[in-house]
Structure 1
Amino acid sequence: MAIRDTIMTLFLITPGEMSGHLAKRARGKRLALNLSQKTLSERSKVSLSVIKKFEKTGKISLQSLLKIALVLDALEPFKDLFGQKIADTSLETLLEEKERKRGRR
């Protein structure tokens, strides 16, 4: 069994569920900052209709999500989204490993 298959088995949340979770967290953060949807729209330069749709359905483009995250002071965690977990890798392996330039077929 590949590592990817193991990870997929252990992580029991679908992309749809994750997007809904992110939408609820973003709405909660917006409310905690005492921002209306309209104010968030103005500050993030994301249309009000997109913000309403995101909070209701969880659907949004990555670019719009990042703009909203910036206004909600939640952009920083995105930079590590696809980072390698150090705890799962030895220091020797990290030092020997070369950065990949492109994927294999």
Structure 2
Amino acid sequence: MNPDAIRGHLDGMLLAVLEDEPLHGYGIIEALHRRSGGTLDMPTGTVYPALRRLERAHWIDGSWSTVGGRKRRTYTLSRAGRQELVRRRSEWIRFSGIVGSVLGGTT
């Protein structure tokens, strides 16, 4: 998939994969891959900076844990993040409907 097509939507997708359960960074990448039917292979260099940005915005909360002797950061969706996800979903539905109308070829 063209990375430009994702630009502007990554934050909403990250919030969406955290909606059901807390996940660590690699788990988030796996969830994006799985939920996209294998289409999205997001590099860590894209996902981790976005997670830090979402944490600074207080849309997600991160906490450190040690699993198997390795430290990892697990992220959960905050109350503000849930509100942001609702807003972004609404925005996406409106946007995708507009693009569908234009690209659908109907007059």
- Higher RCO (CA 8 Å, separation ≥ 6 residues): 2
The structure that is strand-richer by fraction is 2
Q: How high is the TM-score relative to the length of structure 2?
A: 0.29
Q: How high is the TM-score relative to the length of structure 1?
A: 0.29
